[in-house]
Amino acid sequence: MASSGKPPLDDTRRTTGSPKMKTRENAKDTLCRNVTIYGRCRYEDKGCAFNHDPQKVNAAYQSDSYKKRFNVDSPSFTPSLLSGNGTSAPKKSTTISPKAANAAPFQPRTSASRMASPVPAPKTPLTGKGSNTSTPRQEVGTPDWSMAEVQEFIPQGFEGAHMSSIQGNGNGTITPTSAFDPFVTASGPLSAGAVGAVPANPYSHDTAAAIGGATFFTNQTGFQQPVQYHLYAPIGPHNQNTLGYQRNVHDLFLPNDFREELQKKAAATLQTLPNTQLPAQVDYFHSLVPLDLSHQKNAATFGYPSWVYKAQSSKDGNFYALRRLEGFRLTNEKAIRSVQAWKRVCSGSVVTVHDAFTSRSFQDSSLIFVTDYHPLSKTLAEQHLGAGNRFQNRHNPHITEQVLWGYMTQIANALKAIHSNGLAARVLEPSKVLLTGKNRIRLNACAILDVVQFDTQRTMADLQRQDLVNFGQMMVTLGANSPNVMHNPAKAMEHFTRAYSPQMKNSVFWLLNSLQIDQERSIDMFINGISSQLMSTFDSALHLDDQLTSDLGRELENGRLVRLMTKLNLVNERPEYEHDRQWSESGERYFLKIFRDYVFHQVDAQGDPVVDLGHMLTCLNKLDAGSDEKITLVSRDEQSCFIVSYKEIKKALESSFQALMKPPRRMH
Ligand SMILES: Nc1ncnc2c1ncn2[C@@H]1O[C@H](COP(=O)(O)OP(=O)(O)OP(=O)(O)O)[C@@H](O)[C@H]1O
């Protein structure tokens, strides 16, 4: 009962002691404490001995001491709708507006500056009713309680020039009122549309545009979160067979077949041939390696036997392909100058020509053409017609329509580049088209006939039309899988018509008829005619581009991990410092050493090595990021145990590396 918190109805109990101690007769003199304002006691029926006289109780409730108090039974307070003078008072909002709930935390202005402000207080309360403002009510005038909604709160310091002006400190200067926040740049005027110092998104491709150019450039000194270089985000195309959280090692490295291809190409590029009969030097080239697969002299294409070598330039150290035309004698200097025009041809479908010169290095008079070297490339004749193969008569696999369209569009691309440079390919045959990647071809041996048959009487327009015919014949040859098919054109076309779609057949027919005098034909017209196929080739190229970008993304951060591992290995175990005792038997370098074991020398319960690339990569990435995660490091003798964060290990690694960079005398 004592804890009921009800007011004593009779002060006499203080002098008479606890009501429980009273006799029943005495109790009658004391008003019951359980009597509520309604004059009822809960215990009256159960024999409560105290006085329940309604009149006395009522009188007690009317007393001043009671009026000042409330108890739990007091009816809830309902403000009167009538003001003291009997007029209707504006209704107060008892709930918080959602706008107010979302408002930024309010920072009160110093009352001093408010007091000193010569500017009259704004009519509208800045913080809305009910807000926790330090401004005395009287100062801002009578609040306009009739406002239905709370005014949207505008954080100080972001209100623009008008708001700044009302915060004069009395001596004419404007004082910043908001607390300093290192993440918010305060200097410089905000641009007109700025709603506040929105932190720049470091990942945005156009940070200036993201937050308003002027704002960004005036805030150059502001703090920006560094880009998290240690994070791997998978870039599509994605593996469909894994769930979102699943990763495998292949996600972090190049696909094996692609890696192998690149490595083989690198090895082929670096290949040398010791004890060769070839000249050690051909002009500014050395380290010649023959690329021909057969030793048979073949003068069919150029009128001279030709040989191809890989060689390294002593001018720039790069590798090139040298094509030698054996026994060629240059009679007209202008002929070799025609190669200059070929240097301007820049196309992904043409093997770039760099130079041409005559040479006597092979103990004869040779003409040498210098072109790009494409390691491990094959000619289309080798790939599809069995050229250079001991079993030339084996059955060559049929070239699918899709692949043939791919070849066609690439050669059209090459001819477009060549013809628009005022040149003609002149050599268009499967043995002079290089396959440098999967379905990726380039026209080879261009420029040669321009030198060798410099005196030709044919016009360039005629030569270009001849290119179209040669192009058509090459397609038929490839489609028939037979090098000599054009010896019987009718049979060849019959086969072609059976094997490929009408659109393909019509395109090839169109090319083959390019020399008809009554019809004007050009490579541009041909390209218009096959535009739908160009689109599908273009789309394939875009897909490949996406794939390569994705592959590149996987390799992107590997270099960073190599640098980190290099540092770790540089720091760990330096025998020159008293067999490492002076270097890392104590201090932070000691736990670096144990960390090395933690990452690379884990053993399982049986004491067998744990070879878990995922664990190693995770540890190294966390180390590089300086994560706050803690790990337990136990020394090999199990006598020492450290609980350290990656952050601390990173710091130790950095300072140890710096120590190593110092001259040993200054080492401690
Ligand atoms: N620029 C080059 N880069 C890399 N390899 C090349 C290059 N040019 C040619 N080759 C390779 O050299 C070899 C010989 O090429 P070539 O053009 O002489 O073909 P071929 O089949 O020997 O024709 P031909 O019988 O007319 O000599 C081919 O295997 C070809 O892949």
The answer, yes or no, to whether any atom of ligand 1 lies below 6 A from the CB of 378, is: yes
How far apart are alpha carbons 396 and 307 in whole angstroms? 26
Name the token pair of 542: 């875009």
The residue whose two tokens read 């100062």 is: 139
Which one of 17-31, 169-183, 390-404, 593-607 scores highest in mean pLDDT? Answer: 593-607
Which pLDDT score, from 0 to 100, does residue 466 have? 96
Give me the residues paired with residue 309 across strands.
290, 322
pLDDT band of 587, cuts 50, 70, 90: confident
Q: What is the DSSP letter of 68?
A: T
Identify the bridge partners of residue 634 per DSSP, sorted by sequence position.
641
Candidate of 265, 292, 297, 298 to mutate for ligand 1, largest count of ligand atoms within 8 Å of Cβ? 292
Ligand 1 pocket mutation, candidates 264, 288, 291, 325, criterion most atoms within 8 A of CB: 291
Helices of type H across 28-172: 54-62, 64-67, 98-101, 111-116, 161-165
Does residue 127 register a pLDDT over 70?
Answer: no
pLDDT average, residue stretch 64-75: 46
Tell me whether the omega of the peptide bond preceding residue 237 falls within 30 degrees of 0, making it cis.
yes
Residue 489 is predicted with a pLDDT of 84
For ligand 1, whether the C-beta of 446 sits within 6 Å is: no
36 annotated as belonging to a binding site for a ligand: no
Name, in order, each residue with C-beta under 8 angstroms of 358's C-beta and a sequence gap of 6 or more.
328, 330, 336, 365, 366, 367, 368
Task: Please check the confidence at residue 62 and state whether its pLDDT lies above 90.
Answer: no
CA 404 and chain centroid, separation: 36
Residue 167 Cβ contacting ligand 1 at under 6 Å: no
Residue of 304, 308, 378, 392 best suited for mutating to test ligand 1, as the one with most atoms within 8 Å of CB: 308
- A 10 A CB-CB count for 507 gives 22
Tokens of 574: 């330096």
Q: Which value does ipTM take for this structure?
A: 0.98
pLDDT higher than threshold 90 for residue 425: yes
What pLDDT is attached to residue 664? 60
Q: Which long-range contacts (CB under 8 A, 24 or more apart) does 213-219 make?
A: 215/188, 215/190, 215/191, 218/187, 218/188, 218/189, 219/185, 219/187, 219/188
325 close to ligand 1 (CB < 6 Angstrom): no
Does the pLDDT of residue 214 top 80, yes or no?
no
Contacts of 603 (CB under 8 A, 6+ apart): 609, 610
Question: What fold is seen in the domain 263-540?
Answer: Transferase(Phosphotransferase); domain 1 (1.10.510)
Alpha helices (H) along 212-365: 213-218, 256-270, 333-337, 339-343
In the chain, list all ranges with CATH 1.10.510.10: 263-540
387 lines ligand 1 (CB under 6 A): yes
How far is 317 from 87, CA to CA, in rounded Å?
99
In the chain, which segments carry CATH 1.10.287.3700? Answer: 558-666
432 is in an annotated binding site: yes
Q: Which atom of ligand 1 is nearest to the CA of 377?
A: 31
CB 178 within 8 A of CB 156: yes
Q: Is the pLDDT of residue 525 over 80?
A: yes
- Region 262-272: what's the mean pLDDT? 94
Q: Which atom of ligand 1 is nearest to the CA of 323?
A: 8
Could you tell me the sign of the dihedral formed by the alpha carbons of 68, 74, 75, 79, in that order? positive
State in words which class domain 558-666 has.
mainly alpha
186-196 pLDDT per residue, tens: 333 333 333 44
* Angstrom distance (rounded) from CA 571 to CA 655: 10
Ligand 1 near 351 CB (within 6 A): yes
Inter-residue contact 416 to 409 (CB < 8 Å): no
Ligand 1 mean position, distance from CA 519 (Å)? 35
Whether the CB of 292 sits within 6 Å of ligand 1? yes
pLDDT above 70: residue 180: no
- Specify the amino acid at residue 639: Q
pLDDT digits 0-9 by tens, 6-19: 433 443 333 333 33
CA-CA distances (angstroms) from residue 30 to 6, 55, 459?
15, 13, 135
Confidence at residue 144, expressed as pLDDT on a 0 to 100 scale: 42
Assess whether the C-beta atom of 308 lies below 6 angstroms from ligand 1.
Answer: yes
Residue listed under structure tokens 């057969």? 294
CA of 492 to the centre of ligand 1 (A): 26
Please report the atom of ligand 1 found closest to the CA of residue 382: 21
In sequence order, what are the beta bridge partners of 633?
642
Mean predicted lDDT score pLDDT of the chain: 74
DSSP state of 484: T
Distance CA 517, CA 390 (A): 43
Nearest ligand 1 atom, CA 445: 17
Q: Which residues contact 355 (CB under 8 A, 6 or more apart)?
A: 339, 369, 370
At residue 237, the pLDDT reads: 64
164: left (phi over 0), alpha (psi -120 to 50) or beta: alpha
Q: Which token pair is 611?
A: 């070879």
pTM of the model: 0.61
> In the structure encoding, which two tokens stand for residue 552, read together?
């590149």
Give the closest residue (by CA) to ligand 1 atom 19: 431
Amino acid residing at 41:
C
First to last CA, the chain: 77
Question: Which tokens go with 209?
Answer: 């545009």
Task: Among 322, 349, 353, 379, say which to mutate for ligand 1: greatest number of ligand atoms within 8 Å of CB.
Answer: 379
